């Protein structure tokens, strides 16, 4: 048996990177408990009740938090998701757990019919999935997971396993989803962008004839108040779009809904930079990836940036161009290291201004314009603050030198996660919990920010300097004392126990 096989065959030692003092009832302990409770044995569900399967971008964010307490499990989270990748490269937005009853979630596997309707696109035959995608944050997550324990990652060949799959995923998006012809990726369903019910979708959705209400049953209303969820009319349009895409064999040859979204494309660009770092770790140069990220950044600014408004806007590829709805998606490009300085400065002004109110009327980033008629502090993506978007904006503020504001936002996220019992989302004014509690990415990203609070801010996983060579310097504590809240890498059984399409 060669050395790599020996290393991967024997139980991994616990090598947690983050180990603060953790008194009983601490935020750290409770966040880890949420991830324990949501673990299925191979992946983590967003919530046991409302979302009982594996979701694509949820798993990426969850892996980012898990890396601080169990790098091995964080790797497994991403590997499980990538095992369901389609032959054409797409990573489906849901991987269904066959042990969950069909009526527990809609749309269920018998709606998507992935193994039959998706056959021409290379859908897997041994696992049921949806046929649409979610934002491509996966390469960024894979790189951060590697940085948490490079020794374990190299011993298991983690990056070598995931790199070709992530490259195929990006290739699918760049080659099959440039529906506007300007170099950016289009989403073909609001569920793909992740911010499902945002007002940015209202105009393009108005062209869609809704599916009859009697043709489906909304399982989401069993777990959430109707006034906090998408309307029946919008839901009928979501179902119609998904059914038409399915009935067309999940082919990306044009439909009635195609939108270039700034957050989706920004995450693709961030992940292109991460793929470049992964390539360098594997012995390549990564130069082409960085160059592609720079071209995509230029296209993003050219097509979606509005200097007069100081914000990025969605573009309706099938309609009349820019969609002038101020949403948090337009702030997420602050994450990018290659953003022109004047654009980054304008985004910070918009973030602090009356439409989002950060640091003034709000402590977390609202999902929609506070001054707009459609603003609702409790209805899904039409106003509430979400933890993953605040995490992205916090990272962006820090990347562009706004350390004090980043520190304030980080603390606000931790406070809200604490008082809301790790809610799915919260009222941006009061922090009142909305949606599910014990939510996976809320707990995971709280762990990440807890780590970040005590860590130096020149970590190699930071994308602020994408062209500098990577020199791993995260400390690896081989004789690290185990805490009772640690996820046990050596015993995978130790810790078993919205509308998203």
46: alpha, beta or left, given left = phi > 0 and alpha = psi -120 to 50? alpha
* Three-state secondary structure call for residue 190: helix
Set 19, 196, 234, 499: catalytic member = 196
Handedness of CA 499, 56, 245, 263 (dihedral sign): positive
Catalytic-residue membership of 83: no
Cβ within 8 Å of residue 135, ≥6 positions away: 57, 192, 193, 194, 263, 264, 267, 268
Catalytic-residue membership of 88: no
CB atoms within 10 A of CB 494: 13
Q: Which two tokens stand for residue 455?
A: 């860590």
What's the CA dihedral at 359, 363, 368, 374 to 10 degrees? Answer: -100
In order, the DSSP letters of 419-430 are: HTTS-SEE-TTT
| Angle, CA 48 vertex, CA 44 and CA 52 arms, to 5° | 70
Distance CA 32, CA 102 (A): 29
CA 461 to centroid of chain Cα atoms: 17
Set 394, 424, 448, 486: catalytic member = 424
422: alpha, beta or left, given left = phi > 0 and alpha = psi -120 to 50? left
Distance CA 464, CA 443 (A): 25
In order, the DSSP letters of 256-291 are: S--EE-HHHHHHHHHHHHHHHHHHHHTTS--HHHHH
89: alpha, beta or left, given left = phi > 0 and alpha = psi -120 to 50? left
Catalytic positions: 196, 424
């Amino acid at each position: 048996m060669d050395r790599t096989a020996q290393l991967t065959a024997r139980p991994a030692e616990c090598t947690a990177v983050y180990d603060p003092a953790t008194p009983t009832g601490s935020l750290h302990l409770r966040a880890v408990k949420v991830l324990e409770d949501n673990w299925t044995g191979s992946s983590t569900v967003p919530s046991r009740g409302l979302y009982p399967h594996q979701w694509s971008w949820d798993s990426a964010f969850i892996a980012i938090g898990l890396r601080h307490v169990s790098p091995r499990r964080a790797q497994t989270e991403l590997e499980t998701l990538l095992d369901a990748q389609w032959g054409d490269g797409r990573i489906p937005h849901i991987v269904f757990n066959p042990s969950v009853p069909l009526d527990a979630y809609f749309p269920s596997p018998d709606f998507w019919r992935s193994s039959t309707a998706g056959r021409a696109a290379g859908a897997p035959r041994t696992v049921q999935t949806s046929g649409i995608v979610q934002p491509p944050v996966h390469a960024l997550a894979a790189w951060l997971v590697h940085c948490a324990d490079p020794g374990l990652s190299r011993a298991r060949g983690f990056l070598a396993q995931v790199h070709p799959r992530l490259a195929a995923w990006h290739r699918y998006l760049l080659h099959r989803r440039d529906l506007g012809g300007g170099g950016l990726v289009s989403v073909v369903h609001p569920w793909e962008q992740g911010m499902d019910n945002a007002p940015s979708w209202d105009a393009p959705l108005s062209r869609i004839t809704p599916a009859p209400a009697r043709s489906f049953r909304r399982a989401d209303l069993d777990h959430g108040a109707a006034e906090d969820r998408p309307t029946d009319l919008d839901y009928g349009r979501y179902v119609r779009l998904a059914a038409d895409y399915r009935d067309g064999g999940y082919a990306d040859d044009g439909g009635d809904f195609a939108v270039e979204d700034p957050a989706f494309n920004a995450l693709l660009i961030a992940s292109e930079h991460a793929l470049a770092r992964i390539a360098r770790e594997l012995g390549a140069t990564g130069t082409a990836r960085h160059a592609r990220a720079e071209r995509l950044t230029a296209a993003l600014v050219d097509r979606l940036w509005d200097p007069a408004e100081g914000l990025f806007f969605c573009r309706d590829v099938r309609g009349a161009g820019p969609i002038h709805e101020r949403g948090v998606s337009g702030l997420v490009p602050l994450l990018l290291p290659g953003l022109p300085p004047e654009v980054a400065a304008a985004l910070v002004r918009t973030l602090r201004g009356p439409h989002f109110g950060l640091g003034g009327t709000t402590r977390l980033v609202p999902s929609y314009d506070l001054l707009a008629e459609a603003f609702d502090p409790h209805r899904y993506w039409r106003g509430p603050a979400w933890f993953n978007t605040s995490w992205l904006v916090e990272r962006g503020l820090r990347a562009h030198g706004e350390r004090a504001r980043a520190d304030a936002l980080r603390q606000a996220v931790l406070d809200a996660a604490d008082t809301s019992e790790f809610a799915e989302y919260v009222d941006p004014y009061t922090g009142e919990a909305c949606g599910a509690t014990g939510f996976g990415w809320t707990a995971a990203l709280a762990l990440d920010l807890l780590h970040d609070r005590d860590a130096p801010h020149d970590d190699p996983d930071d994308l602020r300097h994408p062209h500098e060579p990577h020199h791993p310097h995260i400390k690896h504590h081989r004789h690290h004392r185990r805490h009772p809240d640690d996820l046990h890498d050596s015993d995978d059984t130790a810790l078993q126990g919205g509308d998203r399409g």
